[in-house]
Structure 1
Amino acid sequence: MRVLSADLWEPAPGRVVTWDVTPGVGRRPAAAAPTWNQRNHLLGAGSGEPSVWITAAFDVDGPIDPGALEAAFRDLVADHPGLRVEAVRRPAPEQVGLVRHDPDGLVWRRHDGPVTRTVAETREHLATELTRRCAPFGYPAFLPAAISRPGRSTIVLGMDHLHTDAWSTTVVIDELAARYAERTGGRSDTGGTGRAAGPGRAAGLPAVAAAEIIADPVSADRAVLASGADRAPAGPPSGDTAGPPPVGADDPRLATWHGFLRDRGWALPTFPLPLGVPDGERVPQRTVVRPLADAATADAVAARARAAGASTSAAVLVTLAGAVADLGGPAVLETLLPVHTRDDAAARGAVGWHTTTVPLRIDSGAGDTPAGVRPWAVPAGPAVRPAVPDTALAATGKALRAARELAAVPLEQVVTSLPQPLRFPRTDIFQVSYLDYRRLPGHAAAAGRRAHHVSAATRADDLQVWVSRTEDGIAVRARMPRTPTAADTVDAVLDRWSDLLTALPPTPLPPTDRRPADEPPEPART
């Protein structure tokens, strides 16, 4: 899976085909309850925040068969209730709400659009259509589309964040590919899991706990953690519950949330190095996509992390903290972490917004490498302190496991129980996301399908980071303000981060069977 923003997307030109989907006349939709993150996403959109869409895109052989593709889209929407919700405005105090449409009442109309001639023209046309069609109010907040070409075509489903998260994007690609191949006699797809049904087929996925930090903040802005940071707890695939039940007022997990915010003066985390954006301003975003470690290095990092009683995600986080510290930042990096709430087989195969957010302090171990403690990596140069020590890696693994326990606390309860209002130093929130795509639907076929996750490009005033692990290794997408200062700062952080991950000690640690409960074994290789 390639994770990009629209400004870096390079769709090849061809005939652009789209579909309009409208509710049938006389059909009354059923009432549905928005989750906490959906409600606040809608409040942000209602206050003028730009459209926040996520697009699943992948290639198939030959020109598009419009009838087969429409049937595949129809089946996908019918099987996933999350794709049939419509956001509606309500009178105060509710302000926003959801209804859900009957799939049998939806009317589909195909439009054969322009034949584009260049990558730039294709990107601009699709981005414009996605921004217009994937706005959250009205139905649908998604755009079924394709780019048809004689030899190899691209299938596209853009979705407002109301309908989806990063994990869901992999489900969409795998199911659409299987459904389309079924309708075209199998001639269109390079392979996959063959899952042609919706959540009911989720039992075919690997039996993996959804604990390896898996989410895509896309636009973690104040509208969403003014009530719950970028991600609020989502309900089961039906979408008809608003998250976990409240915890007791004396629950230590609620106290941990309060303590994190109290220590920050009730302010949400911001990236601690200069980004060159004046207070109160946002500027067009800059996106950087680059590798952090190749496949062999990623495997070595995973083994080293397990030896320290931690996970690969903990290694990624502690080395980021080390990079920030090396460039003049604090020794302890504070951030918010999106985590999935997909705790059962049905949720693993669902399309929806199934994530929450937890706070995390990451102690880089800067200046704390006692004699006899092996460093995480060899220093990049004589002027740089010894890299992240094993003690910091182990501590980050422990902190990460503790942070995930906070996912059981409803964000609404966190916010409403604070003794003082949250403060928002910036519009965006500093967040770090990690997603191991090897554990998700269709990972084996993703490269052959040229699977892409493409997010809208908007405006920014803080740094947000998405880390992806695939068969190729570990890569990062970073979203930041488009300023010279931010470019210099973030590029330097990414360089140092990569150094800390890749400059491993010359001799490995002894093998160990210790493995933390939050990370499953590496998948079998054939």
Structure 2
Amino acid sequence: MIITALSNWTPRPGTLVEWHPSRAASDAALAAPVHSAPPSFLQEDHLVAAAAASARGDVHHAYTGVATEIDGALDRDALSRAIAAYVLRHEGLRCWFEVNGTHVVRHLASNAVAEFEPSDAGSFDTDEQLQSYVRARFSAEATAFEWPGFVVGAVDRSDGFTLYYGADHAFTDGGSQALVISELADLYALEIGEDAPVPAAAGSHLEYATAERALAATYGPDAPEIAAWRSIFRNNDGKMPRFPLTLGLEEGERGPVRIVERHLLDADATAALDRACKAAGARISSGVFAAVGIADFELAGRTDYFGITVLSTRHVGDYAQSQGWFVNFAPVAFTVGDADAFSEVAVRAHAGFEASKKIAAVPVHAVLGALAADGTLGSELAVSPNMLSYIDFRWFPGVGRPADTRGEHFTGEGRTSNASMWINRDADHLYLCAQVPDNPVAAESVERYHSHLQSILESVARDGDYAIRVAEVVGG
């Protein structure tokens, strides 16, 4: 599995096939009653924002997608049954939502919606035609305000087929997308009588959302986790983290997204980086943050690293193979400027990252509410932070099987004011994917930054350490 831009997805030509609910399934979904389970906090934010965007007439980009290649002739009926089995496994996928202002209402359909039918949708001659077609499907159909909030399709050829899936972000996160394509492939293999693992039981995202609200209510404004957030923000002038170099935008401005990818280290060099981090008393995840902190210092004079990271919350219940949004956000902070080498910063980054995991015990919305109430955060509540995420894809259930090995994960490409990075490891390499503003200034800044970050990581992998150099002019 690799995270990439949809524009890099280039399956061989064939017949386009779409799956849609049967008329009976569509009728059952439309009649779905209101369910008492609230949306999760992230779902609620997303749904309110998506409803406002729809009211403005904006194109829907708030989806994520994934695709893979399956060997052998496509059995359409078998894939129809696999899709039905997939929907029955994940209660959250039988939901759709209504939004009135900031009030979100959930509808939950019965198992009767698990009936899908294939239909031909023509063919394509160029990669651009296919990508345009799939983007249009995702934008029109992968929406949380009608059912289903996901899209399934295939490119059918005599010797195999491309399977693709996209969902509104309300129903999925990066981990879910890494899980879904292997799960669908396994369910399909079981339907055609091939040997495949039976997917493990999956907990309900509705139960997760309900428990999340109850958990948030247990944290008062003086809870240690909230106090840690407060201290970090006050040490950073009450500001959300920003990319350290100019992105060619005015404060508060957002620009169209361009996906930037970069190979950082091959498998052997990544293993060497891992060993260097352990020798320093850290892990590779902390080492990634250390390298980013050093890049921030050397290129922009930032003596203290402050970032926001994404952490999985699947461990709080039986959610290891569930579909939904199972993440929380937490700050990572540590000092860089008085250190001489990567090994020294790695220890600090490790402590900062471990503290972040503890802080992440409290849902971020409880934190932001407390910090808004005491004035720690004001207008910054409306600012999207520059994010840094690290994922090791080697530990996902489908790893080593063809569907995962051939898998590609792509995301919607809307607008951004950041240059957030997703740094990922798999069996082949360490690489990054970033969503950056599509303008020449941002392109130059991001290339400069990513190139320098790569040189730091290469040096650590090659030499076991890296000597920190004098910082350049701030904002340079």
| TM-score range normalised by the length of the shorter chain | 0.7 to 0.9
CA-CA distance at 1:317 after TM superposition: 1.1
Query: Aligned equivalents of 2:244 and 2:347: distance in 1?
Result: 23
CA displacement 1:161-182 (0-9 Å, x = unmatched): 1111111112212211111111
Q: Which residue of 2 aligns with 1:55?
A: 65
Deviation at 1:272, TM superposition (A): 2.0
What one-letter code is carried by the residue in structure 1 that aligns with 2:177?
Answer: T
Compare 475-484 and 106-115 and name the one that shifted more. Answer: 106-115
Q: 1:275 aligns to what SS in structure 2?
A: coil
1: distance between equivalents of 2:461 and 2:254? 42
Aligned equivalent of 1:481, options 427, 437, 458: 437
- Code of the aligned partner of 1:100: L
For the 8 Å contact 2:205–2:323, the answer to whether it is kept is: no
Q: Tell me, yes or no, if structure 1 residue 126 matches structure 2 residue 99.
A: no
TM-score (norm 1): 0.80
Which residue of structure 2 lines up, in the alignment, with residue 17 of structure 1? 17
Q: How far apart, in 2, do the equivalents of 1:15 and 1:181 lie?
A: 21
The aligned counterpart of 1:451 is 407
| Alignment partner, residue 36 of structure 2 | 31
Which of 288, 293, 303 is the aligned partner of 1:316?
288
Q: What is the CA–CA distance in structure 2 between the aligned matches of 1:57 and 1:481, rounded to whole Å?
A: 25
State the distance in 1 between where 2:13 and 2:234 align.
52
Correspondences of 1:78-477 after superposition (within 5 Å): 78-90=88-100, 95-186=103-194, 194-199=197-202, 239-243=209-213, 244-245=215-216, 246-343=218-315, 346-363=318-335, 365-366=336-337, 368-369=339-340, 375=341, 388=342, 390-418=343-371, 419-420=374-375, 421-424=377-380, 428-445=384-401, 449-477=405-433
Question: Could you say what secondary structure the match of 1:291 adopts?
Answer: strand
Please give the TM-score of this superposition, normalised by the length of structure 2.
0.88
Q: How far apart in 2 are the matches of 1:414 and 1:495?
A: 35
- Paired residues of 1:464 and 1:480 also in contact (CA < 8 A): yes
Query: Per-residue deviation at 1:198?
Result: 4.0
The answer to whether the Cα contact below 8 Å between 1:45 and 1:51 also exists between their aligned partners in 2 is: no
In structure 2, the residue corresponding to 1:247 is in which secondary structure? coil
CA displacement, residues 179-229 of structure 1 (integer Å, 9 cap, x when unaligned): 11112232xxxx8x72345427xxxxxxxxxxxxxxxxxxxxxxxxxxxxx
Counterpart of 2:458, as a letter, is T
Instruction: Output the CA distance in 1 between the equivalents of 2:31 and 2:369.
Output: 40
- Note the alpha carbon deviations across 1:439-473, whole angstroms, 9 max, x for none: 11111125775111111111222111111100012
Corresponding position of 1:212: none
Q: Deviations over 1:2-56 (max 9, x none)?
A: 1013233333332221122324275536432111110011111122174311112
Q: Given residue 493 of structure 1, which amino acid in structure 2 is its aligned partner? A: Y
Q: CA 1:267–1:504 in 2, change beyond 3 Å: closer, same or farther?
A: closer
Q: Which runs of 5+ in 1 are unaligned?
A: 201-233, 370-374, 376-387, 510-526
**Distance apart, 1:61 and its partner CA:** 1.0
- Looking at structure 1, the residues matched to 406 and 462 of structure 2 have their Cα atoms a distance apart, in angstroms, of 35
The reply to whether residue 73 of structure 1 matches residue 99 of structure 2 is: no
- Counterpart of 1:19 in 2: which secondary structure? strand
> C-alpha separation between the residues in 2 aligned to 1:446 and 1:333?
39
Moved more, 414-423 or 348-357: 414-423
CA change 1:366–1:505 in 2 (3 A) is farther
Q: Is the 8 A contact 1:34 1:98 kept in 2?
A: yes
Question: Contact 1:280/1:426 (CA < 8 Å) preserved in 2?
Answer: no
In angstroms, what is the RMSD of aligned CA positions?
Answer: 2.4
Answer whether contact 2:68 2:162 (CA < 8 A) is retained.
yes
Instruction: Check the 8 A contact 1:290/1:476 in 2, yes or no.
Output: yes
Identify unmatched segments of 5+ residues in structure 2.
466-476
Count of residues in correspondence between the two structures:
450
Instruction: Identify which range, 475-484 or 236-245, moves more after superposition.
Output: 236-245
Greater shift in the superposed pair: 113-122 or 405-414: 405-414
- Offset at residue 147 of structure 1 (A): 1.3
For 1:306 and 1:412, locate their aligned partners in 2 and report how far apart those are by CA, in whole Å. Answer: 34
**TM-superposition CA deviations, 1:420-441 (whole Å, max 9, x none):** 2532498542001111000111
What one-letter code is carried by the residue in structure 2 that aligns with 1:86?
W
Which stretch shows the higher mean deviation, 9-18 or 288-297?
9-18
SS of the residue corresponding to residue 17 of structure 1 reads strand
Which runs of structure 1 show a deviation greater than 6 angstroms over 4 or more consecutive aligned residues?
none
